Structure 1
Amino acid sequence: MQPSVLIVDDEPDNFDIIETLLHEQDYQLYYAPSGEKTLALLENFQPDTILLDIMMPDMDGMEICQKIRANPKWEAIPVIVVTALSAKEDLARCFAAGADDFISKPVNGIELRARVASMLRIKQQRDRLQGLLEFLQQNLQYLRSCIAYSLPHEFNTPMNGILGSVDLLIDGYEDIDTEERQELLQLMKGSAERMNGLIQNFLTYARLELTKTDLEQLEKTRKTRYETPTLSAIAGVAKHEAKQANRGEDLVCEVEEATLSIAAFDLQKFTETLVSNALKFSSPGTPVRVIGQFMNGMFQISVIDRGTGMTPEQIKSIGAYVKFDRSRNQQQGMGLGLAIAKTIAEIYGKDFQIHSDPNGGTTVQVLFPFVNI
């Protein structure tokens, strides 16, 4: 979308000069010849920055700037005053009126382009921060309730395992034989690994959500040429997860060799969360299929299990800190796995779909772009 610049000057010739100086920039230029026309225009249109002449009849630039700053709808629009005034006192008055920057007359093309570009960057940053703030405000209450419900349980369980084992080692160290000590240390390690996994998932989800809601970062991520091989990031990770769950024989991996345009860590995390869920909610001895194949100019990843499925309502409510105990049809835990996979798909891919039968069986599919090497 083209950045817009409103030029306020009672002399049309000055607009022509500025238009000439900015003609190589990809800006939409608008013109207002007076303060009244400026305020009327702002009621229906908000530019990305304003070039405001100070010396004008009826309503000068100082007064216009003050009125802009007094209106909550307009106060965030950057204002550059264009003035022949050079005394420090005059410039101080401009800033006191709410100006963000100034350009001296006669206008220099290099200076004009640099200052306008600077103000547009500031406006872009403000818009990004405002978008993040609105996102946080909209989700804050929901996150509060979910975190208050899920985090204590999820963190207390492994913490109690660690502290309980430590207490036993301290209180009865001399009475515990080597084998029992080894068992307690293994319990502590397992609990610590579980807690570390929870923390890493939380940090991963936070990073992905910030990327998704920050339009500039999202565009940068999507334009980056990643080169991640499927055999290691999908097939390799899937086999590791199956082995960890002692279900190596249940895994059916049919992944074509390809290079995908997605960050390696995120593709690995996507595979890990989906395969881990499929193994968790299906019985030993039933297959978990991981399929990767070229389809419709993209690379489709599918994870299929024959375990307990989800209802349409559960699928719609997938989000952070909402996890389903499918065996009892209840929500519990942090539930970041599906939320992470869904967010990764939204950032890098398209057509994220979940097909599930509450009576048994779930298929998760997404399309990712591949790289022609």
Structure 2
Amino acid sequence: MKIKILLVDDEPKNIELIEALLAPEDYVVEKANNGPQAVSFLNSFQPDLVLLDILMPGMSGYQVLEEIRKNPATGAVPVILLSAFNDKEHVIRGIQAGADDFITKPFDKTELVSRVKTQAGLSVLRRQINEKDKLISVIELVSDAIVITDENYNIMHSNALADGLLKINKFKGNFASFLAEKYGRVIDKNDEKGTFIMEIPAVNTTAMSYISIRFAKSTSKSGKTEAFVFVIRDISEEYGRNRMKRDFISLISDRLRAPLAVINGYSRLIAAHPPEEQLAQLALALVRNAELTEKLAMRMTEFAGMDDIYYADREDGYKGNSISTLDLKQMAETFETVYKKNYELKENSALTDLKKWQKTVLKELIENSFKFSDKEKVVLKVTADKGEICVEDNGPGIEKSEIESVFKPFYSLSKEQQEEYTGTGLGLAVVKRLAESAGNIVELMTPQNGGLRVVIHAAAAPPDTAIDVMN
């Protein structure tokens, strides 16, 4: 930010001269021709330095100085008095009134510029110290642990809660190195923001705990990185509850699948050798519903993991950084066997560098292409490039009036489709939830030549907001 100087003098020639002398320094200069005008600028302009002439008609420089010191917004702003007097009495009176320096007319260019630079620099430093003190007071009051580092992750400030959670009260070095060496967590230097979960090992009688760390870059108005702010929270209790819920749902899901498999098996046996035709139809209805319930049981565990935000943020969670590869041909062959439909892949290569959520989304979309296809051959074009996922098929597509509805969990198809397809109605709901949790949006389109095109891409980012952070 440019330094702002308020120049007060009733002589226009003096103002022009001083303004010309200061021009090379690129200061922001506001001019006042009298005392009352200068006082009116104190709150609106909020100067970093005031150059103030003593002898002015009406309201003298001493009176203006008194108003400057009474104003809470400018009480600490340095003031340099300008005067044609060079006697000791005026200098002492000026200092007693609260002036920081004294320059006599006519001005020496070098002396004027030098003294302005000194006082302006002290003003900025004093403001930064005040802001720093305020910031430290604030971060000590918040309920979360806070660590603030410079652009290279060197710790500038940390509150008492951070010291208690991470034991960094005696550590004032590099925070990224601290996390890597003590907890094995590496922060990518190119990351502007992120969230991750860490396990804090048990020590003596202290049980293992879990903390979440969210961090974001703070920039100046020029776009330069000035700091990183880390917000740390003890999530042990909530993490434990979520883990118990996830484990319980997984257990229920697992216990349901065994009796369902028995029901399914006996129903198929009856359907294959029915004592009468009506019983065969009933047996097939049992098979369809048993298969549907079994699929729902399997989905329960997946949804439990998605709803657990702490599990999702883990390295191996849906939003974690673990990377894998998807073999499109192998997946298509699996669905070819399940749905008894031939296929053709427009892109027959493996997709690499996929996160877990992307891989899950692709599986859902490709299976839907097979499941709902009204053709003998399923034609697929699947791409994943630069964060955008696109799956296009030659199926029946989706009516525009239904596009919003199909993302709802358990969305009901028409009666004819329900009889033909055994599904849970969760596929696109899963796709939408996973995409949105990673900051993406899902778009459905029906090309002119038919079929369905699903595109997943990053949501438009809001305009960058510069944040001033003191060093």
| TM-score normalised per structure 1 | 0.49
Q: Name the structure where helix makes up a greater proportion of residues.
A: 1
